[in-house]
């Protein structure tokens, strides 16, 4: 292995404390695949440009096959002294193939190497997350498709507002996750640009063919300024911003699931396999998964702040600060993937190979409807009814406020008041008011595009199903 000191310039070895403080191998070794792919693409280009020989390239390729096998089998000896994934792999390669290994780093710096590795790795994770976002949307659309006619009280200020279809409520989250997917696809284009070939900061004197490397690695283009290429972490921050919004959406949904499952609502039930018990209270079934999903949004939001703060104030070009981008980014990716997967399963059930689903979230329609009937959710419908009979809306609003006040005093819903009582508030009220005051009448009336009428909701479900097919 390498001597303790960095090079002939150094008269003493690094302190043990500094070694541990500066090393990143224990977390950045997860970049190994990207690091090998990047090195092979670089070596292939060096040979094509005549910068290294054909035999060197063959040796590097042969050595990397072995390195790959060792890492995959777990026999690779990761060394703290070698600081990071890049130096570990290069050192082992050189051990295996000699001089060719030492030629690999020609025209390259760890600065453009690490920027390339992180982008390559993140690109793969982005593609995995894009699929998980589709699964999440499908799970919600699936439950929605079975619950168009389930009616729950829609809330504003968490006070009963107007009745809505449970499907409509779930589709609101589908819209959020669809926007997340759009954002992800958009930022992927900026992740997918190649820093390699920028060397330490200024470019290099070797006749590199950066476009060739970009093609080999599937990058859409090359970074156009070497200083920016090695120091830019915007792509990580953008991804982190995307992840923050995903987790905010998940967290809001998780919060609703927790509320809906509380005995005081009782709108849904979750399968036992997604609940936990209590060590002291025998009656408990807690929605821990949803609570944790809500909780884990905090760390992802925190990582965004961490990354932004990391970059603020860094002078050009590369600084060691940038090594600190990895742990937040890795944890963000892990958290988003696990959370999307578990929430999609808990809501929509587990999807078998043949596409069938196990039971997911169970909807208690009766409890939802009972709650919708309790909070005067159809008061707006009574006002709208009077408007249709010729009363100006503001006057109708006032008439209905009186009616609700009376109903509250009687402990009855508007629909339970006798017609004669209602007519006491406004003579225009006739027998046909009954339909306006039912939950389904209220839903059917809201037939504007994007509204909660079952016809609209079914059209949205069909649109999503086609989009997600
Ligand atoms: N481990 C380093 C990182 O993650 C690699 C680049 C180090 N470059 C340097 N000149 N020290 O950023």
Residue 303, phi then psi, degrees to nearest 5: -65, -35
> How far does the centroid of ligand 1 lie from the alpha carbon of residue 51, in Å?
24
ipTM confidence score: 0.97
The predicted model gives 282-293 an average pLDDT of 94
> Residue 121 C-alpha to ligand 1 middle, in angstroms?
16
Residue 182: Cβ within 10 Å count: 12
**Mean pLDDT, rounded, for 325-349:** 98
Which domains does the chain carry?
16-106 (1.10.275.10), 111-363 (1.20.200.10), 375-468 (1.10.40.30)
Active-site residues, by number, are 157, 278
Longest dimension (CA), the chain: 101
Q: Ligand 1 pocket test: pick from 78, 84, 85 the residue with the most ligand atoms within 8 Å of its Cβ.
A: 84
pLDDT digits (tens, 9 = 90+) for 186-222: 999 999 999 999 999 999 999 999 999 999 999 999 9
Per-residue confidence (pLDDT) for residue 375, from 0 to 100 = 87
Residues in the chain: 469
Ligand 1, atom 12, lies closest to the CA of 323
Closest Cα to atom 4 of ligand 1: 323
**423 CB burial (10 A radius; 0-12, 13-18, 19+):** middle
Confidence at residue 374, expressed as pLDDT on a 0 to 100 scale: 86
Q: Which residues contact 158 (CB under 8 A, 6 or more apart)?
A: none
Q: What is the Cβ-side half-sphere exposure of residue 297, based on CA atoms within 13 angstroms?
A: 20
How far apart are alpha carbons 249 and 252 in whole angstroms?
5
**What pLDDT, on the 0 to 100 scale, is given for residue 2?**
46
Give every CB contact of residue 218 below 8 A, 6+ residues apart in sequence. Answer: 123, 192
Asked, as a colleague might, if the bond just before 317 is cis with ω within 30 of 0, I would say: yes
Is the predicted pLDDT of residue 453 greater than 70, yes or no?
A: yes
| Cα three-residue angle 39-42-48, rounded to 5 degrees | 140
Cα 330 from chain centroid (whole Å): 13
> With the CA atoms of 231, 235, 239 and 244 taken in that order, what torsion angle do they form, in degrees rounded to the nearest 10?
60
Q: What is the pLDDT of residues 88-135, one digit of tens each?
A: 999 999 999 999 999 999 999 999 999 999 999 999 999 999 999 999
Q: What is the pLDDT of residues 12-35, one digit of tens each?
A: 998 999 999 999 999 999 999 999
SS3 per-residue string spanning the chain = CCCCCCCCCCCCCCCHHHHHHHCCHHHHHHHHHHHHHHHHHHHHHHHHCCCCCHHHHHHHHHHHHHHHHHHHHCCCCCCHHHCCHHHHHHHHHHHHHCHHHHHCCCCCCHHHHHHHHHHHHHHHHHHHHHHHHHHHHHHHHHHHHCCCCCEEEEEECCEEEEEEEHHHHHHHHHHHHHHHHHHHHHHHHHHCEECCCCCCCCCCCCCCCHHHHHHHHCCCEECCCHHHHHHCCHHHHHHHHHHHHHHHHHHHHHHHHHHHHCCCCCCEECCHHHCECCCCCCCCCECHHHHHHHHHHHHHHHHHHHHHHHHCCCCCCCCHHHHHHHHHHHHHHHHHHHHHHHHHHHHHCCECCCCCECCCCEECHHHHHHHHHHCCCCHHHHHHHHHHCCCCHHHHHHHHHHHHHHHHHHCCCHHHCCHHHHHHHCCCCCCCHHHHCCHHHHHHHCCCCCCCCHHHHHHHHHHHHHHHC
- Distance, CA of 94 to CA of 98 (rounded, Å): 5
With a Cβ cut-off of 6 Å, ligand 1 is lined by 24, 28, 84, 110-111, 114, 318, 320, 322-323
Q: What is the pLDDT of residues 63-88, one digit of tens each?
A: 999 999 999 999 999 999 999 999 99
Rounded average pLDDT over 2-17: 82
Determine the distance separating the centroid of ligand 1 and the alpha carbon of 365, expressed in angstroms.
57
- CA-nearest residue, atom 2 of ligand 1: 323
Structure tokens at 228: 């920016």
> Quick one: average pLDDT of 412-433?
94
**Residue range 160-168: mean pLDDT, rounded:** 97
Distance 70 CA to ligand 1 centre (A): 23
Distance 26 CA to ligand 1 centre (A): 14
Q: Give the whole-number percent of the chain exceeding pLDDT 70.
A: 99
Residue whose CB lies within 8 A of the most ligand 1 atoms, among 229, 323, 326, 330, for a mutation test? 323
Closest atom, ligand 1, to C-alpha of 84 = 1
> For a pocket test of ligand 1, which of 87, 110, 118 has the largest count of ligand atoms closer than 8 A to its C-beta?
110
What's the pLDDT score for residue 278? 87
The pLDDT > 90 percentage for the chain reads 94
- Of 213, 298, 157, nearest to 42 by C-alpha is 213
pLDDT value of position 4:
64
Q: Check whether 140 has a pLDDT greater than 60.
A: yes
**What is the signed CA dihedral for 403, 404, 406, 409, rounded to 10 degrees?**
170
- Mean of the per-residue pLDDT values of the chain: 96
pLDDT at 463: 98
């Amino acid at each position: 292995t390498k001597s303790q000191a960095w090079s002939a310039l150094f008269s003493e070895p690094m302190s043990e404390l500094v070694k541990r403080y500066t090393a990143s191998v224990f977390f950045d070794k997860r970049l190994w695949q990207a690091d090998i792919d990047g090195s092979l693409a670089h070596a292939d280009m060096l040979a094509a440009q005549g910068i290294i020989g054909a035999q060197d390239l063959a040796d590097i390729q042969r050595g990397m096959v072995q390195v790959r096998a060792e890492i995959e089998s777990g026999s690779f000896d990761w060394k703290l002294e070698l600081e990071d994934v890049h130096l570990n792999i290069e050192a082992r390669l050189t051990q295996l193939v000699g001089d060719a290994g030492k030629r690999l780093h020609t025209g390259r710096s760890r600065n453009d190497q690490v920027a390339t590795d992180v982008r390559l790795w993140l690109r793969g994770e982005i593609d995995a997350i894009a699929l998980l976002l589709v699964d999440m949307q499908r799970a919600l659309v699936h439950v929605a498709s079975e619950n168009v006619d389930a009616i729950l009280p829609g809330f504003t200020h968490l006070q009963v507002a107007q009745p809505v279809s449970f499907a409509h409520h779930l589709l609101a989250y589908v819209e959020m996750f669809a926007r997340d997917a759009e954002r992800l696809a958009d930022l992927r284009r900026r992740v997918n640009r190649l820093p390699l070939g920028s060397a330490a900061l200024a470019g290099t004197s070797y006749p590199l063919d950066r476009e060739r490397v970009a093609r080999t690695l599937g990058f859409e283009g090359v970074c156009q300024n070497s200083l920016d290429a090695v120091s830019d972490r915007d792509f990580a921050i953008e991804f982190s911003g995307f992840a923050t919004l995903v987790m905010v959406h998940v967290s809001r949904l998780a919060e609703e699931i927790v509320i809906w499952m509380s005995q005081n609502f009782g709108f849904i039930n979750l399968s036992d396999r997604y609940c936990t018990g209590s060590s002291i209270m025998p009656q408990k079934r807690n929605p821990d998964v949803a609570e944790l999903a809500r909780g884990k949004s905090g760390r992802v939001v925190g990582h965004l702040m961490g990354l932004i703060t990391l970059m603020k104030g860094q002078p050009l070009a590369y600084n060691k600060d940038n090594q600190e981008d990895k742990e937040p980014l890795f944890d963000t990716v892990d958290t988003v993937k696990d959370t999307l997967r578990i929430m999609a399963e808990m809501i929509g059930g587990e999807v078998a190979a043949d596409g069938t689903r196990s039971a997911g979230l169970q909807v208690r329609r009766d409890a939802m409807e009972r709650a919708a009937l309790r909070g005067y959710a159809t008061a707006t419908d009574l006002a709208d009814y009077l408007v249709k009979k010729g009363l100006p809306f503001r006057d109708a609003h006032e008439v209905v406020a009186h009616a609700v006040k009376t109903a509250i005093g009687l402990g009855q819903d508007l629909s339970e008041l006798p017609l004669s009582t209602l007519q006491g508030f406004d003579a225009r009220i006739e027998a046909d008011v009954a339909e306006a005051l039912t939950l389904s009448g209220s839903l059917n009336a809201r037939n504007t595009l994007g509204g909660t009428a079952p016809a609209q909701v079914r059209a949205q479900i069909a649109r999503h199903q086609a989009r997600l097919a």
